[in-house]
């Protein structure tokens, strides 16, 4: 709706992962390069963790787009899989016919197919999304598939993508075998405030914008504070702020537009800055102490 008003060819702040809008700043380009190296040369399981909306799925899609043709990518995107369903899901991703077969037959079929692909010079990469939501025994079953190997090479390379809860699961004693198989671990960071202006400018340029800075410094600061550096939140706020500026027939996104955008976002309702949380906590503590003192004083003078 606001595209023509601001000279854009497409929406700059969509939340669907689009490689055209991959931002390599804030270590994301370095993480992608390291992921590529680890996948093509690694021997263990790789883990990528980050907060909700931090950009893990974008990294996942970028990884797939950068891999050479010899690497076949398959997905496990359903976190509710039970342990016994994992071999069938992987076989289905590889296009194998497993109808009516027992689980041991499926595993043998999988191994034979992976060996054939390896002999043909191909590599199979399993990308596991939402790994933090998987039952622990399902994660353990995935770990067992890393045992499929020749004398020199793994037949299946595995990358786990998950929220910070995945790290908590891996710290459990029952998950130590999986944790020890992880040879590369990457953390997708939140964006610090000083990076966000460049991020906004990059997305706008990728969408066809060629004018002066579209977001005022005050608007950018507000977006940075409210989003807490989470990429998905930044995109949502920026998109709504552009809409507010368009409705206002403004040439630049000002602080009032960013504030209107944040007022329209559900994630801002419980969003309180760390400093404000500390102040509120101290106020609550003082109130509790005062109440206790008044009650004790009342009892003393009865």
For the stretch 54-65, pLDDT in tens is 999 999 999 999
Q: Spell out the residues 6+ positions from residue 246 whose beta carbon is closer than 8 angstroms to its own.
A: 1, 2, 5, 6
- Tell me the average pLDDT of the chain: 89
Q: What is the pLDDT of residues 168-203, one digit of tens each?
A: 999 999 999 999 999 999 999 999 999 999 999 999
- In this predicted structure, what is the pLDDT of residue 299? 46
pTM score, two decimals? 0.84
150: pLDDT confidence band, cut at 50, 70 and 90? confident
Average pLDDT over residues 161-166: 96
Domain 3-18+191-268 is of which CATH architecture? Orthogonal Bundle (1.10)
Neighbours of 102 (CB within 10 A): 9
Distance CA 203, CA 235 (A): 9
Query: From its phi and psi, is residue 298 left (phi > 0), alpha (psi between -120 and 50) or beta?
Result: alpha
Q: Is the per-residue pLDDT at 280 higher than 50?
A: no
What is the percent of the chain where pLDDT is above 70? 88
Give the pLDDT confidence of 209-263 residue by residue, as tens digits: 999 999 999 999 999 999 999 999 999 999 999 999 999 999 999 999 999 999 9
**Residue intervals in the chain for CATH 3.40.50.300:** 27-188
Average pLDDT over residues 94-101: 93
Does residue 289 carry a pLDDT above 80?
no
Residue 32: half-sphere exposure toward Cβ, Cα within 13 Å: 22
Q: Which tokens sit at 2?
A: 């606001």
Flag whether pLDDT at 10 surpasses 50: yes
Percent of the chain with pLDDT over 90: 81
Pick the CATH number of 27-188 from 3.40.50.300, 1.20.1730.10, 3.40.190.10, 3.40.50.2000: 3.40.50.300
Are the CB atoms for 130 and 138 separated by under 8 Å?
no
In angstroms, the CA 37 to CA 32 distance is 9
- Buried b / exposed e along 259-271 (16+ C-beta atoms within 10 A): bbbbeeeebbeee
- The distance between the two most distant Cα atoms of the chain, rounded to a whole number of Å, is 91
15: CB partners within 8 A, 6+ apart: 232, 235, 236
Outline which parts of the chain fall under CATH 1.10.8.60: 3-18+191-268
Distance CA 72, CA 74 (A): 7
Residue 45 has φ and ψ, to the nearest 5°, of: -90, 145
What is the average pLDDT across 267-295?
Answer: 51
* Residue 294, pLDDT above cutoff 90: no
Residues 259-283: what's their mean pLDDT? 64
Ramachandran quadrant class, 228 (left: phi over 0; alpha: psi -120 to 50; beta: rest) = left
């Amino acid at each position: 709706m606001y595209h023509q008003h601001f000279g854009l060819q497409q929406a700059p702040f969509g939340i669907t992962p689009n490689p055209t809008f991959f931002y390599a700043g804030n270590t994301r380009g370095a993480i992608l390069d390291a992921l590529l190296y680890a996948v093509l040369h690694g021997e263990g399981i790789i883990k990528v963790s980050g907060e909700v909306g931090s950009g893990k799925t974008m990294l996942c899609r970028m990884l797939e787009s950068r891999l050479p043709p010899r690497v076949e990518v398959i997905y496990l995107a359903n976190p509710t899989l039970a342990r016994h369903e994992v071999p069938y899901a992987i076989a289905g991703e590889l296009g194998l016919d497993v109808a009516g077969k027992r689980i041991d037959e499926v595993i043998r079929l999988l191994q034979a197919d992976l060996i054939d692909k390896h002999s043909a010079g191909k590599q199979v990469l399993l990308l596991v999304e939402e790994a933090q939501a998987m039952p622990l025994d399902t994660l353990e079953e995935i770990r067992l598939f890393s045992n499929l190997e020749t004398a020199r090479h793994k037949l299946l390379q595995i990358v786990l993508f998950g929220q910070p809860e995945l790290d908590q699961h891996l710290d459990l004693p029952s998950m130590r075998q999986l944790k020890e198989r992880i040879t590369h671990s990457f953390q997708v960071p939140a964006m610090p405030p000083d990076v966000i202006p460049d991020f906004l400018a990059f997305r706008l340029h990728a969408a066809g914008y060629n004018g002066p800075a579209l977001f005022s410094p005050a608007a950018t600061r507000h977006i940075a504070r409210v989003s807490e550096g989470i990429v998905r939140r930044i995109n949502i706020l920026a998109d709504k702020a552009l809409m507010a500026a368009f409705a206002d027939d403004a040439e630049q996104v000002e602080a009032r537009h960013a504030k209107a955008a944040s007022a329209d976002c559900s994630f801002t309702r419980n969003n309180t800055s760390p400093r404000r949380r500390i102040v509120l906590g101290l106020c609550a503590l003082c109130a509790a102490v005062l109440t206790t003192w008044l009650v004790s004083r009342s009892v003393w003078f009865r």
